[in-house]
Structure 1
Amino acid sequence: MVGLVLLYLPLALVVLNSFNASRTFGFPPSGFTLRWWAAAVGSEGALAALGTSVAVGLAATAVALVLGTMAAFAVQRFRFFGRRAVSVLLVLPITLPGIVTGIALNATFTSYLGLTLGFLTVVVGHATFCIVIVFNNVQARLRRLGGSFEEASADLGASTWQTFRFVTLPLMRGALVAGGLLAFALSFDEIVVTNFTAGPAVQTLPIWIFANLFRPNQAPVVNVVAAVLTIAAVVPVWIAQRLGGDPTSRV
């Protein structure tokens, strides 16, 4: 209980301060206002950064869904030399410190590949750890399902494509949506890897928040944006948990 209080009390204060009439955010609040919320809605910088974060998150999630799902099927449904090593290598990026991943990607993009940092490099950087989320979700679902449903479909004369379309995919849909939502949420609030892979022309919402955090005129708007992100973060997690049940119970 103490741990939950220490975790969620600061988040509650962030939401409370977004309505604080004072710029200094003293506690208790000197009054309540919606002025800062109106300022946040009219902030071109925040809205542009929001659009960039959404675009990057969607692109990284799409890449992660394709590659993560393919990797999960390969590891879980086939037996080949080095299968366990491949599984470890796929999970490794999310265990590495973000600054290590960021430095490695930055060196690869700029020094070895000669690329200019921009939107594409940010998407690739985010996809490296988003793949892990999708891979773990899909692999866990495949492990729970086993192969009995697919074998029964094949025994009834269905082709490989028919089995995938009418049996495997419906059973996997919840895991794919949950993995995609969690991957998007992870990409949306990433700042360390983004800082090393984004050029000066690309600014995601977390980068915008960090850049404006210590500017007195922008502090109230930053607090509103942080409050919105705090509330919005609950949605993908809740949906992912709802979709994480046993799919065979609905068959």
Structure 2
Amino acid sequence: MKFIPQPPFVLPCTDRRSDTAVLFLHGITEGPDQFRRPAAWANDLGFDAAAAVLPGHGGSAGTFARSGREEWEAFVHSLTDDSRPRSPRLILVGHSMGGLLALRTWTRRPDGIAGIVCVGCPLHVWVSARAVRDLLGVRYGRADASDERLAILHALNVAPGPTPGYVRWLPRLRDLFTLMADVRRELPSVRVPLLAVQGARDELVDARRSLRCFRRRVAPEFLRTLVLPQTTHFLYPPTDATALREAFRAFCRSLQEEHSAPHGDHVSPCC
């Protein structure tokens, strides 16, 4: 199947009612198209929405191999800085590594970040046989076009390359694991409303250990969690997608209520 790069997008709200915008951050080798529906959810709440493409993504396997963690982090920092003239407050939404980058951004550039949503955030990982089978099937075009493989294909934003060239991706995997370790260490410093969402059938993230890490290291007054029972790393069945939408909407509304409350009043950011 021919590779079609996914560009970044901005989805302005036609009835903008808030000084808050939502910035979506994808995971490693992923792209922004997976955020089209969540961006529409943000618009429904009166928020502008934007989805980025991290450096090294949206092109060849060789270009991805030459990118790296420092470049990804600096890029997200620049996005948050550039957004402030129009939207002084940001909600960062990250899938997979995008969640790590969102948390890392808060620890480095907290000003103006109103809340964070992490979906499938890999505080701990495991790779199942199903994941290996599906990823190889997508990369090498094997016939079984299951829902899970189609979801992976929809998420990916790096062109396939020659098999020996994937050795050059090893430093990028090291970047990912270093980022995971840094975020785990820094979680106790998080002092911003955080919604952590994990799929119970995630084939790449150890959902139980990751949720346990969130719950042990983030103060309970800031943390809300959601487990989606049928969700994998990339595939959200309809019932789970509805639960995610409602949790996202409730979380964002609570941030707006807290922002609008008279000084001294407190609205808990619960979902």
The TM-score, its normalising length taken from structure 1, stands at: 0.31
Q: Is the helix fraction higher in 1 or 2?
A: 1
Q: Is the strand fraction higher in 1 or 2?
A: 2
Higher relative contact order (CA 8 A, sep 6+): 1
